[in-house]
Amino acid sequence: MPSRESVIDTIPEGAWFKSSYSGQQGGTCVEIADLTTKVGVRDSKDKTGPALLISAAAWAAFVSGVRTGRL
Rounded to whole angstroms, the Cα distance separating 9 from 11 reads 6
The stretch 10-19 carries a mean pLDDT of 84
| pTM of structure | 0.73
pLDDT at 60: 94
Residues 16-65 have pLDDT tens digits of: 988 776 666 666 788 999 988 999 999 888 888 888 999 999 999 999 99
17 contact partners, CB below 8 Å, separation of at least 6: 31, 32, 33
pLDDT at 44: 84
* Residue predicted with more confidence, 59 or 6: 59
Rounded to whole angstroms, the Cα distance separating 40 from 6 reads 12
pLDDT at 57: 96
Closest CA to 42 of 56, 58, 54, 60: 54
